[in-house]
Structure 1
Amino acid sequence: MMKKGIYISALYNSKTGGGIVSDTIKQVLQTHAEINLHVLEFPMFKNQWKKLFYMLTGRLLGSTPAIEKSIIRQIEKNHPDFIFINTSSLGLLEKKIRRNFPGIRVVSLFHNVEFVYTKDAWKTSRKINKLLTLLVTWYNEKLAVRYSSVIITLNKRDSDELALLYGRCADGILPICLQDRFDPSQLKIDQSDRPKKALFVGSNFYANYYGIKWFVEHVAPYVKNVKIIIVGNGFERNKKELEIYDNIEVVGTVESLDEFYYNADFVISPIFEGSGMKTKTAEALMFGKTIFGTKEAFEGYSFDYGKVGCLCNNAEDFICAIDNYNLTKFRFNDYSRNMYLRNYSFNKLHEILTDYIVNH
């Protein structure tokens, strides 16, 4: 039986991890044979004063009273069986939905435990506006936990943190899954005597910035015959700061990451803080890359670290893993690719969402 649903989300930048995951989930729901989906998306605030004003009313991302009223009207008009809310930062809206439509099933996806994520960001700046964001985030997330019919997190750690913070764990786990972009015809055959190519991918926000800055200072000077390439939205702003050794190249914002993955021998992921799961780990698996990453980079993933690459939690681990890496003919790790296909692919996401939405 066909189920009618409404998907509610802010419009995320499609080049960020959150944007990639959001687009993939929306695509699965839109193309599902047993779901008739109505999409309601709204832009995030760009004006900082407008953002601050609505934050003082308890709202985040881009939500306003006018947007909330419009969403309520669409629910009245469409009579959905379920509502899928693509964040835990719209708790105030969830409260209004459940009070107006107590019988509708509201499924909320927590990309992170946003309070933990925002708290870590606040630690790096200690600015008053960040503290306000932290308080409003806690308020909305608490409401989301209270009013959601079903809570989905990306991993068990986030579920446990929700239980500690708000007294309720997740009802289900939905690991990051991505639409497949891998093209085997693009694999490069190269066994020449050349430097190893290490790729770092990530947008320029606090966890990525401090992670790669640490790597540049504590690992880059000590690895042999390695070219380190840094790609991601906004990193061009830190080009002079990070290119302090000859073996580092900061590319920054690009239209497509695919070519960089094909050309890389391995991916480095020196991430020490955060919540949720790291999209770039799933992306690296998709392209069949060997990954040298921290415990945080691998959080929520289930695979053999030694077969994917190496678990590296300090500088010595990274240096040893990189120095001992042997160049391969196709720059390709079969085990990584198979882990993506088995656990983190579009088909896997379809299977899990069918279970949570269609079969209930």
Structure 2
Amino acid sequence: MSKVARSSGSRALVVCQEPPWPTSHGARVDIWNRYDGLVREGWSVGLICWRDGAQTQADADAGFNGVFEQVWVLDKPKTPAARLARLARLSYLPSLAAALYPPQDKMVALVAQVRAFAPDLLVADSVHMADFTRRLARTLDIPVVVRSHNVEHDYMAIQYRLAGSWRSRLSIAAARLHLKTFEIQALKTADHVLEISKDALPFWKNLGVERIDWVPTFVPSLERVQLEPLPWAERRYDAVYLGNLWSPNNVAAVRWIVDEVMPHVRKVTPEYVMLIAGSNPSPEFQTYLAEAENVEWIANPEDAAAIRAQGRVLVNPILEGSGLNTKSVEMLFFDSPLVMTPFAADGMDADSQACFHLTAEPERFAALMTDLAKAQFVVDQARTEARARFGQGGAGRLSTILRDVVADKQHMFQ
């Protein structure tokens, strides 16, 4: 087996299941911030991803300029031969992992191009990319790092239970096939695992995943922006929720705050207005939001920061899920009190959790929403320190871990 040419130890190639541009929802924002932060720590980063919609290579090159040194946007193969190959992979892979493989001729060309890029390690940015990334890493004889966003098989079980349509349940059922076994094996065989949730570390270690670190979501872009807070009286909404409006657990969270919490809010403050904003609500959910009392809503907002800046209180009513909630991290960078369920703070360290007002009791949640909307919020030391942890400092820690992985692998070659 020939080895890829070694660089200075600061070149990473990332494999994602979708392009992180445009940053139109939380997962893409998460990816973009992670590797933008890594580049600012001195790394050169390349990207392999699969085309999303009509996005072209030119679109990708323009959108990724300044972060990714080189980008490969692959098409999801749809030929009869590719479909048969995917069916064969479904005998041992979950559907998302089985779908994202280029045909053999394109794979050969891709390997040659990646070899010229000369990465020091490969990063599978989700567990679903682990099999493809591991095979590519073996060809190049370089280490592979897997990013674990949560205990994925538990998360998908929750999404399956909450799914509202048979079509959604069928899609999630296919994604769950072989997932638990696949996920455990992917993490155990990786050279290193980057786990998003602090709470998940003991779970994985008990299953024999030894080379693992807590690397939570970080958002250095928000840290750099330093938005000027709007005066309290000029903020348009008493409360703001921002998150995707299509995943089953987010839809359930919004229904809970509208149906269970807002009636208590109206009793105390009849004129209270909450904004619900997010991506891709179904027609049925749009109708539900339009009929909700004391609620305004915006689908697919272009500027998430501007939306959050208009809220006196920011809320995250998520009731189920796993991992670390990206919304909760982003909310730390706005000068508003933060009211959330305890589930929304899962996966964080205790010092960061102290920045949130936590309750899953509807009447108490409503009381916090109304009381905290009355007076201007002042950023305290706990919020300042949390911002440092989830800003560029998080990228610095990731950089140190990846450099150690490369150094350990190179030491084995000596």
Cα distance in structure 2, aligned partners of 1:222 and 1:211: 16
Unaligned runs of 5+ in 1: none
Q: Is the 8 A contact 1:291 1:309 kept in 2?
A: yes
1:180 aligned residue (221, 242, 245): 221
Corresponding residue for 2:366?
319
Corresponding residue for 1:32?
41
Corresponding residue for 1:105?
143
Corresponding residue for 2:209?
168
Amino acid in structure 1 at the alignment position of 2:193? I
Cα distance in structure 1, aligned partners of 2:217 and 2:244: 17
Deviations 1:78-100 (A, max 9, x none): 44321122111123214423543
Indicate the larger mover: 212-221 or 64-73: 64-73
Amino acid in structure 1 at the alignment position of 2:281? F
| SS across alignment from 1:316 | helix
Cα distance in structure 1, aligned partners of 2:248 and 2:86: 21
Unaligned runs of 5+ in 2: 1-7, 55-74, 408-414
Is 1:233 matched up with 2:283? no
Indicate the larger mover: 36-45 or 150-159: 36-45
Cα distance in structure 1, aligned partners of 2:263 and 2:211: 43
Cα distance in structure 1, aligned partners of 2:370 and 2:154: 35
Identity %: 17
Amino acid in structure 2 at the alignment position of 1:246? E
Cα distance in structure 2, aligned partners of 1:188 and 1:98: 49
Cα distance in structure 2, aligned partners of 1:297 and 1:138: 24
Corresponding residue for 2:10?
3
| SS across alignment from 2:296 | strand
Corresponding residue for 2:3?
none
Corresponding residue for 2:25?
16
Corresponding residue for 2:132?
93
Shift of 1:197: 0.9
| SS across alignment from 1:220 | helix
Shift of 1:309: 3.9
Q: Is the 8 A contact 1:83 1:104 kept in 2?
A: yes
Corresponding residue for 2:355?
308
Cα distance in structure 1, aligned partners of 2:50 and 2:275: 35
Cα distance in structure 1, aligned partners of 2:389 and 2:112: 38
Shift of 1:134: 0.4
| SS across alignment from 1:32 | coil
Q: Is the 8 A contact 2:335 2:379 kept in 1?
A: yes
Cα distance in structure 1, aligned partners of 2:76 and 2:17: 16
Is 1:202 matched up with 2:243? yes
Q: Is the 8 A contact 1:289 1:336 kept in 2?
A: no
| SS across alignment from 2:150 | coil
Q: Is the 8 A contact 1:196 1:327 kept in 2?
A: no
Change (3 A) 1:63 1:48: closer
Cα distance in structure 2, aligned partners of 1:222 and 1:195: 21
Q: How does 1:120-139 map to 2 (within 5 A)?
A: 120-125=158-163, 127-138=169-180
TM-score, with structure 2 as normaliser: 0.75
Shift of 1:64: 1.6
Cα distance in structure 1, aligned partners of 2:398 and 2:299: 34
Corresponding residue for 1:63?
100
Cα distance in structure 2, aligned partners of 1:16 and 1:60: 19
Cα distance in structure 2, aligned partners of 1:150 and 1:15: 29
2:384 aligned residue (334, 338, 352): 338
Amino acid in structure 1 at the alignment position of 2:145? V
TM-score, with structure 1 as normaliser: 0.85
| SS across alignment from 1:268 | strand
Shift of 1:32: 3.0
Cα distance in structure 1, aligned partners of 2:316 and 2:215: 22
Q: Is the 8 A contact 2:198 2:348 kept in 1?
A: no
Shift of 1:242: 2.7
Question: RMSD in angstroms over aligned alpha carbons?
Answer: 3.2
Change (3 A) 1:334 1:55: farther
Shift of 1:257: 1.3
